[in-house]
Chains A and B, each alone.
Chain A
Amino acid sequence: MKHLLLSAALVSTALADPQQSEYYLREEIPTPEGEVLELGGIAIMPGKKVAVSSRRGDVWVCEGAYEKDLSKVKWTLFARGLHEPLGMFYKDGSLYLTQRPEITKLTDTDGDGRADQFETITQHWGIDGNYHEYNFGSDPDKDGNIWVVHCLTGSGGASDKSPWRGWCYRYGLDGTAIATCPGIRSPGGIGFNQAGDAFYTDNQGLWNGSSSLKWLKPGGFMGNPTGNKYVNLVEGMENPPEPETGSRMVVEHDKDKRIIPPAIILPHGKVGQSPTAVIYDSTEGKFGPFQGQVLVGEQTHSQVQRVHLEKVKGFYQGAVWKYLEDFRSGIVPARMGEDATLFVGGTNRGWAARGGKTFTFERVRWTGKTPFEMHEMHAKPDGFVITFTEPIDEESAKSVASYQTGAWTYIYQKGYGSPEVDKVTPKIESITVAPDKKSVHLKVSGRVRGHVHHFNLAGVKSAKGTNLWHPDVYYTLNEIPD
């Protein structure tokens, strides 16, 4: 009897709830035999080659990663002996890697497939031997600079021996160094949105109530003052803000606009626990309907989240949804390759992750079927507008009972993380469905500036009668538009 119930229950959920495999095909790419390939970086090379770097310090080049039959991939060793590179890109015949001690340009000058030139671009920052002084490096920006976020010593300190911990710097390929943003704690990845602005993920911990996606606004302060002390090394450098512990982020932001509130809070536990890579969907619709949206890797929960950003009163904010999951290890790097193929790499060494494998290299492709999802979410003076990927069923969308709401924030404090505090329940006063049935305008009272606003739309159906693939959205309302 119990067995019968169980299988019946499985069938009934399969019918009712959308599954990832309908929309996205996730495939594991075999890695070189006998090698431990805990991925830290992925780069796209000409000739449909994909380079990957590992935490152990190797670089391998994969041929066949776009082919249908992945069992035939061919791997070539490009380099060994690097120091935990976290960030890699290809440019003009070379691979550039942000390593622990330096940024390095790797070139195969004699064409034998293996790097023979390792040119140090910069070793501007200090390292003191602490395992946690990670550096995550970006691709070059429009000016050709690599953005690097320097993790604090041990994720909470700033060693005298290792200047510029807790800072973001931009480094030119000629070695120039531009101090860009203080206030970093423990990053997990860095990248750009479609507009070319730089973002990084920072993890829950000291001065970070929850993990979040932060905008690296040049001159802005990211929240953790531990690395501020290094300004004393440079004469005339401006002192960064010293926020007050136990406060709230928007309160401190109002005192000093250099303090940049997280663009997107990724509520701890609810939307992952360790955010990582930052990329955006650049496929012009070949990876589903989310062109231009930012995708954020997640290590602990082995996922990729989806983010819609908008600028309100000069600062970024927006919404996050869960997106792709069931990866076999904790996602660290991600890269949109050719043919709208998303490559991700995973590792669970030292930090636990779902999935059961110690490391993984995977690709994801869109099946061509559009999921019924919230598409974008915009703050409005009186509430929010949520758009959808497909026409909605007007009756269910107009019913207040189809929506559940909640809002909270986090204490902005020196301590490690924060509970969810100042909880309120915003009230939906009215719902207007757009004539094209592709969006709803929610008039909402009880919104609170600085709060994460959670909406669950489990009751909203598509015109075809299907449920949302992901009914939960979390909007970080730093500013309410006028």
Chain B
Amino acid sequence: MKHFFIATLALISPLLADHPGKAPYELYCGACHAPDGKGISGGQFPPLAKSEWVSGKPERIIEIVLHGLQGEIEAAGKKYNLAMPPHKDSLKDDQIADIISYVRNSWGNKGSSVTKEQIAAMRKATSKREVMWKADQLLKKYPIEKPPAINDLLSYTHLGPFKTLADLRKSKAVNAEEEKKGLISLQHAALKNDKRDNYGLVWEGWLNVPRDGKYTFHYDTDDGGAVSINGKEIITRDRIGPAGTPTKKSIQLKKGRADIKIEYYEFKGQELISLAWEGPKMKMKSLSDTKSKGGKKGSSAPPIPIVAPAGEATIYRNFIAGTDPRGIGVGYSEGVNLAFSADSMSLDMLWKGKFIDGGRHWTNRGQGNEAPAGEQLVTVNRGLAFAMLESQTTAWPKEADAKIKPAFKGYSLNKQQQPTFNYHFGPVKVADFAAPTAEGFTRTITLEVPSPGSSNDELYFRALSGGSVNSGSERSFTFNDDLLLNVTSSEHPPFTRENELLIPIPLTPGTHKIEISYTWK
């Protein structure tokens, strides 16, 4: 009985088209890209099925397999931020050729097969490459082959001090050109770099409308211009002025060809053009080589806001922009937040409102620094919080003196989950607590100097740096017009010097205390 099945399976399997690349693909690639090419775990990893990276000329995918690819990419309409290791040193030419040929002809993909000689040639041609590709660099070398954004695009260059559309329309073009890329652009051969004022450009071509429906155009210019569809002017920006306020207009279009004409003029100064369209089942597509400033560039991760529970604080430890790698973020339910550096023991930043978004670090591999989420961010200090100075005019050191090296000792939490940071500067033990208020923080720094006192030197605490400090009274200061700071208690009075506020601390044995209130202006 068993024999019978084996024989049957053996007969069937050639019909399942066992491509020589199938087994090595499933062994070496399937873990991430999935045996069905759709990306494993419901598309958490990039698909190869119907991916624009796979089809077209084979050089692009050969280089990805040989050298790897890391960082953010968009594939089949979705963004990913992962890393694919290079395979040049782990797979042989014939294995790579078989795998790529299999991938380019599976799951609806259609592409030429590749030979091991092609792999060998590419291996030789790129033998100097030692780092993984990044998507944008690779696309410069091998752009994704796609139909032009605007078909049969022609550009006409006009020269003159145009201040209105009427001025532009009265003039005659000095040059006409075919724009093969199908994108409108100010990088134009007919315009010399030293003549970037007093000109106009007019483009004509047609759009391939994918389906019937309402389409919206977004046009931004510095200075002015207009957009016409099928001979009808839908957007008019007849003005001199900066970009940043794109004009949006919607129009019903039928599937198929729609003629488009774009007019633009630049009088003097800054120049910019940006045009995009969106429609039913069609995400915003740029028709120009510059995007409007409205589009944000940043993490592709979905937001995961981190919120302190009512009456409590919450801690976020990961890489926070604006502090050190050992930065500790604390969000308080009072709506104020801080970042403390466990590298330099400095209270680095204060901000109001939202705490931080965990999306970047808790999605995919979590690369990069995440900036605080809220507003009114103030960088209070960077670098060492305490130092010994020979005199009050000695510059603040970048590196710690061996006698008073900082050492982070952790933190304790009270019932409200608010941390007291504990650290040492040499023999001096410090406890550092910031109590949230509705307007800011009240901070208490308690120093324990062992007996006998280490020396006659004075220790200094740097309360503010990197911005302009103005004293309102002996113990009251403003910082960059952002923050009001009151040194409510200290044994020695605080003093200002250029862009700094320092508080001397006597190194006599016993307990020393500093109290500071931070209030947003």
A residues engaging B (CB < 8 A)?
Answer: 5, 8-9, 12, 16, 36, 55-57, 80-84, 99-102, 104-105, 115-120, 123, 127-129, 131-132, 161, 204-205, 209, 268-270, 273, 300-301, 348-354, 356, 358, 411, 413, 415-419
A128 touches B325 (CB 8 A): yes
* Shortest CB distance A449–B (Å): 23
A83 touches B317 (CB 8 A): yes
Pick the residue among B32, B86, B314, B362 that contacts A56 (CB under 8 A).
B362
A129 touches B325 (CB 8 A): yes
Interface residues on B, range: 35 or more
**Given the known A-B contacts A56-B362, A419-B90, are A99 and B85 also in contact in the complex, defined by CB atoms under 8 Å?**
no
A5 touches B2 (CB 8 A): no
Q: Which of B1-21 contact A (CB under 8 A)?
A: 1-2, 5, 8
Q: Does B125 contact A (CB under 8 A)?
A: no
A55 CA to B325 CA, complexed, in Å: 17
B31 touches A123 (CB 8 A): no
A81 touches B365 (CB 8 A): no
Q: B411 — which chain A residues lie within 8 A by C-beta?
A: 118
B412 touches A117 (CB 8 A): yes
B326 touches A127 (CB 8 A): yes
Q: Which of B81-100 contact A (CB under 8 A)?
A: 82, 85-92, 95
Pick the residue among B27, B319, B364 that contacts A350 (CB under 8 A).
B364
Q: Which of B395-418 contact A (CB under 8 A)?
A: 408-414
| Binary interface encoding of chain B residues 283-319 relative to chain A, with 1 for a CB under 8 A from any of its CBs, else 0 | 0000000000000000000000000000000111111
B87 touches A82 (CB 8 A): no
B8 touches A349 (CB 8 A): no
Q: Does B68 contact A (CB under 8 A)?
A: yes
* Shortest CB distance B334–A (Å): 17
**Given the known A-B contacts A118-B411, A352-B31, A419-B92, are A131 and B314 also in contact in the complex, defined by CB atoms under 8 Å?**
no
Q: B31 — which chain A residues lie within 8 A by C-beta?
A: 273, 300-301, 352-354
Q: A349 — which chain B residues lie within 8 A by C-beta?
A: 362-365
Chain A residues touching B, majority SS: loop
A128 CA to B325 CA, complexed, in Å: 6
Q: B317 — which chain A residues lie within 8 A by C-beta?
A: 57, 81-83, 99-101
A99 CA to B411 CA, complexed, in Å: 15
A36 touches B362 (CB 8 A): yes
The 8 A-B pairs of least Cβ separation, nearest first, read A81-B315, A415-B89, A417-B90, A350-B365, A83-B317, A352-B32, A120-B410, A269-B27
**Given the known A-B contacts A56-B358, A115-B413, A120-B410, are A127 and B5 also in contact in the complex, defined by CB atoms under 8 Å?**
no
* Shortest CB distance A36–B (Å): 7
A417 touches B319 (CB 8 A): no
A352 touches B45 (CB 8 A): yes
A12 CA to B3 CA, complexed, in Å: 11
**Given the known A-B contacts A12-B2, A120-B409, are A352 and B316 also in contact in the complex, defined by CB atoms under 8 Å?**
no
A268 touches B362 (CB 8 A): no
* Shortest CB distance A235–B (Å): 15
**Given the known A-B contacts A118-B412, A131-B368, A350-B365, are A416 and B41 also in contact in the complex, defined by CB atoms under 8 Å?**
no
A19 CA to B317 CA, complexed, in Å: 44
Q: B86 — which chain A residues lie within 8 A by C-beta?
A: 415-416
Q: B95 — which chain A residues lie within 8 A by C-beta?
A: 419
Pick the residue among B315, B342, B413 that contacts A123 (CB under 8 A).
B342
Pick the residue among B2, B8, B366 that contacts A131 (CB under 8 A).
B366
Q: Which interface residue of B27, B95, B369 has the most chain A CB atoms within 10 A?
A: B27
Q: Which of B304-362 contact A (CB under 8 A)?
A: 314-319, 325-326, 328, 342, 358, 361-362
Q: Does B442 contact A (CB under 8 A)?
A: no
A418 touches B90 (CB 8 A): yes
A418 touches B89 (CB 8 A): yes
A131 touches B367 (CB 8 A): yes
Q: A411 — which chain B residues lie within 8 A by C-beta?
A: 89
* Shortest CB distance A454–B (Å): 15
Q: Does B44 contact A (CB under 8 A)?
A: yes
